Structure 1
Amino acid sequence: MNESLDNAVLAVDGGGTRCRVACEVGGVVHSVETGAANVSTDFDSALAQIRAGLDQLSRQIEVTIGDLITLPAFVGLAGVTDAAIAGRLRDALGLTCARVEDDRPAAVRGALGAQDGLIAHCGTGSFLAVQADGAMRFAGGWGSILGDEASAQWVGRSALAETLRAYDGTQAETDLTQMLLADLQGPAGIVRFARTATPAQFGVLAPTVTSAAKKGDAVAVHILRAGAGYIADTAKQLGWQAGQTICLTGGIAGQYAHYLPDDMQSAIRPSLGEPLTGALALAKEIRHEHL
């Protein structure tokens, strides 16, 4: 291609499932996808995935990696928890004009653009964010041990906990609890599974729960109501106001729509774009700051 990079920007959006690296040149977006990139879980692996993406992208648009790393860039990655790890990543990649943050700002900007509103992201993990007058305020995203309420992981783990309560006889059995008890070979099997299960493995159980909820299973409905309650309460604490747009993103977030209060249900809108779109928009802001 050998196109001028005078107005080009670079963006990276990485999480526990995949990493996407993109360069917008002359209004055209070129992107590649590599594997999972969480710098807290495995810094070296995440770094390798980003480098692989930069290498693929450089060959795709026929420039050097050296050219790419000097571009205005926004890097949004799962696991960037403070300035120290952000700086370590920036230095390791050799980026010279970059903003390195976690993956939440790119998701917000992609979903909402510049408009005010709320994003409730519930995938394997979860977080909420409100954008108002260009400023973002976040809650959650602290991982499966200390947070990630209403995530797919949380739904799966909650279902297993409720199944054990049903086994103890402290709540009624349902089709869901009986099925999970049988599938995992009794309470001992549930405990064995939970002892080593990753968030993604807990999350695999979530579709079973949402499917049961659609059939009116009391335990499944209870779990989804609890997740929706967390979303509603946190949204209001973050400053969401009735009438502002709500975007439900991530694999399981849409399952909560029916359980949200009426004023929130009526505000739900499709996302304007994906996180990579948001990362590119944030990279353009960095470019303007350095003009």
Structure 2
Amino acid sequence: MDELVIGADLGGTSTRLTVATSAGARLATVAGAGGNPTTHGVRRAAAELGATARLALSGLKPGAVRAVVIGVAGRATLDDERAAQAFAGALAAAGVTARPVFVGDAEVAFCSATPHPDGTILLAGTGAMAVRIRDRRTAATADGLGWLLGDEGSAYWIGREAVRAAIAAIGGTGPATALAGAVTARLLAAPPADPAHRLRSGLIRAVAARPPVELAALAPVVVEAEAAGDAVAAAICDDAAARLVRLVGDIRGPRDADPLVLNGSVVREPDAPVGRRVRRLIAERFGGEVLTPADGIAGAAWLAVRSLRPQWPDERLAEVHALLGQESS
């Protein structure tokens, strides 16, 4: 059997891991529970990685794994040697002796979409940031500041704007919108009766009682209202797209011909309200091919192959990249 590689993604809601040969054949892809160390803590996240690796390697030879690349949001946590050692120990307990290399989720997503070394990626899911990639590493970042300081245009931001619009409509300070009823239904089990100020207060209390990031769960409410023709929801989508494209403009010139990758729940789908608007604005302002990654862990596996086979020519590595992408579709 060829030497094996592992590519993994430590997400807040799931740990995803693929085992592949160095030639690009994916042998097993599995998902476990959330494994992001920032969200769940190092000990729990490392244990989940180990459990997922054992499941993926069932029937394979863990000792044949020669390279491991793990993508993780907030990878600064893994700069702590003790934290990195916890993950290496969890893999070793599963029989994998290769020491893992940790890279940012933006780098993994970019490399999942293209083998090109340079370009730009716009990530817009719960949070939002644009990243300039040079030699497959982060060279510059716009936003990615978290809910308190930024993440403009993200699902969190869209959810927050939905609540603000609903409260304005209820209080008579903003236009009528279907978001008023939809947001109320999502946040309040038993909406108070009139007067309106009680409903307004109820919504404010409901939001304050939850972790701020949970506002991201309201983004689909805006999508549904926009699809139904709600003008306020459409305006929120317009604003979100404009803010996201502005992030791209902070780190990318109009004549840049390198690939531009879109990823994340807000922009990934070309027919989604914000995704559609973002693509239109990008086409008006920037050059270069617009891509979406097939599968984030394919990029992690490909980076592992590159580390294992640095002598291979670009053409051979591009073939491996294509194979990994086909396996993920």
Show the counterpart of 1:196.
Answer: 209
Q: 1:112 aligns with which of 107, 111, 114?
A: 114
Measured on the aligned residues, the alpha-carbon RMSD in Å equals 2.9
Query: Are 1:119 and 1:248, in contact at CA under 8 Å, matched by a contact in 2?
Result: yes
- In structure 1, the gaps of 5 or more residues are none
- Equivalent residues in 2 for 1:156-195, closer than 5 Å: 156-181=159-184, 184=188, 185=191, 186-195=199-208
> CA distance change for structure 1 residues 187 and 91 in 2, over 3 Å: closer, same or farther?
same
TM-score by length of 1: 0.83
- Equivalent residues in 2 for 1:67-78, closer than 5 Å: 67=63, 71-78=66-73
- Equivalent residues in 2 for 1:67-146, closer than 5 Å: 67=63, 71-81=66-76, 84-85=79-80, 87-94=81-88, 96-114=98-116, 116-132=118-134, 134-136=136-138, 137-146=140-149
Question: What SS is found at the alignment partner of 1:41?
Answer: helix
Alignment-mate amino acid for residue 74 of structure 1? V
> CA distance change for structure 1 residues 72 and 225 in 2, over 3 Å: closer, same or farther?
same
Aligned identity (percent) is 24
Tell me the distance in 1 between the aligned counterparts of 2:262 and 2:281. Answer: 15
Tell me the distance in 1 between the aligned counterparts of 2:55 and 2:278. Answer: 43
Show the counterpart of 1:276.
Answer: 297
Query: Are 1:153 and 1:203, in contact at CA under 8 Å, matched by a contact in 2?
Result: yes
Structure 1 residues 12-67: Cα deviation after superposition (integer angstroms, max 9, x where no partner): 11211211122212532122211111111222221121011121123242x24xx2
Question: What SS is found at the alignment partner of 2:303?
Answer: helix
Query: Are 1:37 and 1:77, in contact at CA under 8 Å, matched by a contact in 2?
Result: no
Query: Are 2:147 and 2:213, in contact at CA under 8 Å, matched by a contact in 1?
Result: no
> CA distance change for structure 1 residues 46 and 145 in 2, over 3 Å: closer, same or farther?
farther
Show the counterpart of 1:264.
Answer: 282
Show the counterpart of 1:231.
Answer: 244
Q: 1:34 aligns with which of 29, 32, 35?
A: 32
Query: Are 2:8 and 2:18, in contact at CA under 8 Å, matched by a contact in 1?
Result: yes
- Equivalent residues in 2 for 1:56-71, closer than 5 Å: 56-61=55-60, 63-64=61-62, 67=63, 71=66
Tell me the distance in 1 between the aligned counterparts of 2:100 and 2:49. Answer: 14
Tell me the distance in 2 between the aligned counterparts of 1:23 and 1:133. Answer: 24
Tell me the distance in 2 between the aligned counterparts of 1:199 and 1:116. Answer: 34
Alignment-mate amino acid for residue 233 of structure 2? A
